[in-house]
Structure 1
Amino acid sequence: MPYRSILQREFDHQLREHVGDPLMYAPSQKLSVISEGKVLFRWSCGEDFEFFDLASLTKILFSAPLWVRLLQHSSLDVKDEARVYLPWWKNGDGVTVEQLLIHSSGLTWWKPFFKKIKEGSLQKRREQLIELLKKEVPENPGQVCMYSDLSLFYLGLIAEEVFQKSLMDLWLETKAQMGYESLHFQKANQLSHKKSSYAPTGFSEWREKELQGEVHDDNAWSFGGVAPHAGLFGGLEDLENYLLSMRKLSLGDPACALKPDFAQRFFQRKTPKSLGDFGYLFMKPTKGASSAGRFFDDSSFGHTGFTGTSIWYSPKKDLGVILLTNRVQLGVDLPHFKVYRPLVHDLVGQIVLGSEWGER
């Protein structure tokens, strides 16, 4: 039996030993494990779908490469105040670009802007968003860390200002640069592929319908389906290629026209552990409470998505795990997925690295 099949079968056996039926946690799941520059094994269960709502993985699949490119090719300094590029944000005194990148801007984590933004062209929706963002008042920037979707809204607008291009045009450039094939936004909330090819993501109270192929995040939907914080859909292969590119960059090799010295700034911890666990746009493992479990040490970087997605990579252990699920199909408030996701990573670490528990 091929080694890949042995690992896949062992993972499936161990997972079912620990949790019983994995489908209690999400009705569709795909897993890919990467080590030493190759896919070690894949695993899946439940109904098979080509595309998943990647949710906040958009932050590292789109916004992070975009911002690496921005820092490579512009005179922007992360110590600049955001108001240098967004002079209309009168309430943003003292907030730097870097604070937006590491979630220490003092902005709240989320607001239901979708209740105030009316339908229209992407440009009209953008103008409405700016009017809402003008009113945001950060609290104690630089002194606290709070994961914030709002930070990404400002970063997206800064990128548009620096490049003098729309967010959609910047996405198309990023897609070409990164070599993405399956990743896509649903521009103007219109399906790009057959509805049946998308993993469903449950009922939207705001839109009063079951979602399948329509972005789960209501703010991203209200922006017209294209956003810097959420909205991408895609499949496993593109995420594998992305992780392999990030691996190359972490080792000091160029990838996708991105320079390692710039990209590595995004992977490194930028916040004191007493404040939070962030690099530039990437998450870092939170000791004792990481979604990546116990094997992913402090060299690791990655991100999670609200719909039940995640990507994590440890340069120290040369181990990467991609998990795609539609856990929100079962409900958004079910707490048991917070236990399931780190367990999946722990079992992968145990099988691949050969020790019972990882060292942090």
Structure 2
Amino acid sequence: MPPTGLIEQAFAPAAASIEAGNIPGAVLGVVTSDGDRAVQWAGAAQIDPQREPVSRTTWFDLASLTKVIFTTTCVLQLVEEGRISLDDPLVKAIPDLRQYDMNAAERRLTFRQCLAHQTHLPAVEPLYTYGQDPGTLRAFILQRVWQAGPPVYSDINYMLLGIAIERITGQALIDQPLPEELSFRPDPKLCAATERDTWRGRVIRGEVHDENAFALGGASGHAGLFGTIDGVLDFARSLLDGSALSPESIKAIRTRESDKRTVGWEACHAGWHGGDACSPDAIGHTGFTGTGLWVDFERGLAWSLLTNRVHPSRHKDSGILGLRRATGERVIALFDEHAQL
């Protein structure tokens, strides 16, 4: 897809969703490996308590895109620096993990297993209901006897990875260096609003929507990152052109560890959020707040759709799966059509 001309056609499903009242606002961005870029936006960054328009420079709560843009990338960079290997157990960085039971299953978990969601840990736990002291909650995560189950997509995996990053680097996640237009501490006035949260008693804007990440101090391995569309596209292009990670690390995020997962990312499969037109080894990820990023290496193409679909409430059917799939299929169709000209 060229940087201009076709982006409005690709944005049409999002425009229709905004018009129907399914989502308040959206920004769609497309980037190619050679740097061509196009961005389109419409709708509201906030409708409650008052309406404010979305723009290209609106910051979005990226939610679980934190897992791939920050956590996975950071772990792989630590591997490249020789500080850990993917198949090291987490206890190499967190020796006190389940320290009262040397035979605990958690002590055998590896970085690769956690990145690829191939562990026994549960999907999520309402840790914020146990208190809001970040240090105590981190200790609770490390010492909890987690109920075992089959491998599932798990926030707990990435909470542990976030703690490992803090231990290895000696720096809290919220203070980690980040590229421009990505931040754990955005200016709330520049952010899209998320939910009117009954727990916090306010509309959430500029602070992380995820309750566990908020209770952990605002940043965790699974959530907490904010970004603009250009911040997300800069990251996507760095994957496409190989500047973010080594060839071995790029291979890791493109290689399946299970039917639907690579190291960190979701692999293309039937019915996934990226649509059915993607190349077989395309990867992507979504965020609960309504964000998403997909990378098609074979085409040299990536796109991101950022929405605030949980504003003012998550308790409605926003149709986000259908919107994401329709957007991805339209982006690829237009890209392929242009490539044949």
Return the alpha-carbon distance in structure 2 between the equivalents of residues 351 and 232 of structure 1: 30
Counterpart in the other structure of 1:113: 127
Determine whether 1:63 maps to 2:71: yes
Offset, 1:70: 1.0
The structure in which a higher percent of residues are helix is: 1
Offset, 1:5: 4.2
Contact 2:132 2:215 in 1 (8 A): yes
Return the alpha-carbon distance in structure 2 between the equivalents of residues 311 and 137 of structure 1: 31
Q: How do 1:125-164 residues align onto structure 2 when only pairs under 5 Å count?
A: 125-137=134-146, 139=148, 144-164=150-170
Q: Which stretch shows the higher mean deviation, 59-68 or 40-49?
A: 40-49
Offset, 1:22: 4.5
CA pair 237-137 structure 1, distance change in 2 beyond 3 A: same
Describe the SS at the equivalent of 1:147: coil
Return the alpha-carbon distance in structure 2 between the equivalents of residues 23 and 196 of structure 1: 26
Counterpart in the other structure of 2:251: 264
| The one of 310, 321, 324 aligned to 1:328 | 310
CA pair 94-27 structure 1, distance change in 2 beyond 3 A: same
Determine whether 1:25 maps to 2:7: no
Q: Alignment identity in percent?
A: 24
Return the alpha-carbon distance in structure 1 between the equivalents of residues 253 and 164 of structure 2: 17
Counterpart in the other structure of 1:339: 322
The one-letter code sitting in structure 1 at the alignment partner of 2:8 is R
Over residues 312-349 of structure 1, what are the superposed CA-to-partner deviations in whole Å (9 max), with x where a residue is unaligned? 01111222111111010053143321211111111112
Q: How do 1:152-231 residues align onto structure 2 when only pairs under 5 Å count?
A: 152-169=158-175, 171-172=176-177, 175=178, 180-186=179-185, 192-193=186-187, 195-231=188-224
CA pair 39-83 structure 1, distance change in 2 beyond 3 A: same
CA pair 62-161 structure 1, distance change in 2 beyond 3 A: same
Return the alpha-carbon distance in structure 2 between the equivalents of residues 323 and 13 of structure 1: 12
Offset, 1:138: 5.2
Offset, 1:262: 2.5
Counterpart in the other structure of 2:49: none
The one-letter code sitting in structure 2 at the alignment partner of 1:41 is A
Counterpart in the other structure of 1:122: none
Counterpart in the other structure of 2:60: 52
Return the alpha-carbon distance in structure 1 between the equivalents of residues 320 and 117 of structure 2: 24
The one-letter code sitting in structure 1 at the alignment partner of 2:153 is Y
Return the alpha-carbon distance in structure 2 between the equivalents of residues 198 and 343 of structure 1: 26
The one-letter code sitting in structure 1 at the alignment partner of 2:42 is C
Counterpart in the other structure of 1:9: 8
Scaled by the length of structure 2, the TM-score of the pair is 0.86
Determine whether 1:311 maps to 2:293: yes
The one-letter code sitting in structure 2 at the alignment partner of 1:215 is V
Describe the SS at the equivalent of 1:115: helix
Determine whether 1:282 maps to 2:265: yes
Q: How do 1:92-103 residues align onto structure 2 when only pairs under 5 Å count?
A: 92-103=106-117
Over residues 248-284 of structure 1, what are the superposed CA-to-partner deviations in whole Å (9 max), with x where a residue is unaligned? 12xxxxx14x32222321232121x2xxx11111111
The one-letter code sitting in structure 2 at the alignment partner of 1:137 is W
Return the alpha-carbon distance in structure 1 between the equivalents of residues 158 and 40 of structure 2: 32
Q: Which stretch shows the higher mean deviation, 22-31 or 339-348?
A: 22-31
Contact 1:284 1:301 in 2 (8 A): yes
Q: What root-mean-square deviation, in Å, do the aligned CA atoms of Structure 1 and Structure 2 show? A: 2.3
CA pair 269-134 structure 1, distance change in 2 beyond 3 A: same
Contact 2:66 2:222 in 1 (8 A): yes
Scaled by the length of structure 1, the TM-score of the pair is 0.81
Contact 1:107 1:136 in 2 (8 A): no
Determine whether 1:34 maps to 2:34: no
The structure in which a higher percent of residues are strand is: 2
Runs of 5+ in structure 2 lacking a partner?
A: 44-52
CA pair 36-66 structure 1, distance change in 2 beyond 3 A: closer
